[in-house]
Amino acid sequence: MRPDNDVFLSVGSNLGDRLENCKRGILELTAYGTTFLTGQSPFYLTEPVDYPDQDWFVNAVIRIRTDLEPEALLRAARSVQEAAGRRRDRIRFGPRILDLDILLYGHRMIHRGDLVVPHPRMHERRFVLQPMCDIDPDVMHPVLKKSMQSLLETLGEGNQQVVVCP
């Protein structure tokens, strides 16, 4: 595997057994190709962002090593989401049984169709930055040229509550 294939993904759910949905999604995603889990944050209960009228999410971030190219990884993530029962979202940022988003794919910057890496809102999301810092706070955002820890600190205290799952 090439060194630029160190990939970070967010995992989330706020429907059904949220924690089990996330765990199963991680297991199924890491069964694709030569994809290996190399890091995982704790699971967090997180306040919804952008569409607050819904249940809190369970979220985590994982780091994988993979031979899958970005588009193939996106297809694999969507397949895992669909297998979990996710259907086309009726409400943007609304409830979902499983959400798998590619946050970083090595140091690559990708903007092809519906694949945008780094994730365009990751630097605004405590539910992404906190778990990323649990894995590696020194990872650099390839566009903003700031570490995840620095990005987390610039969020300050706000309404994005993130609590470690009991």
Measured in degrees and rounded to the nearest 5, phi and psi for residue 26 equal -65, -45
Q: Which CATH architecture has domain 3-164?
A: 2-Layer Sandwich (3.30)
Q: Predicted confidence band at 9 (pLDDT cuts at 50, 70, 90)?
A: very high
Catalogue the active-site residues.
Answer: 86, 96, 99, 101
pTM passes above 0.85 = yes
Q: Predicted confidence band at 161 (pLDDT cuts at 50, 70, 90)?
A: confident
Q: Where are the domains of the chain?
A: 3-164
Q: What is the mean pLDDT of residues 137-164?
A: 90
Sign of CA dihedral 114, 77, 142, 35: negative
Tokens of 33: 């190709």
DSSP state of 140: B
Residue 5, pLDDT > 50, answer yes
Residue in the block written with tokens 């650099």: 140
CB count in 10 Å sphere of residue 63: 20
Q: Of residues 156 and 128, which shows the higher confidence score?
A: 128
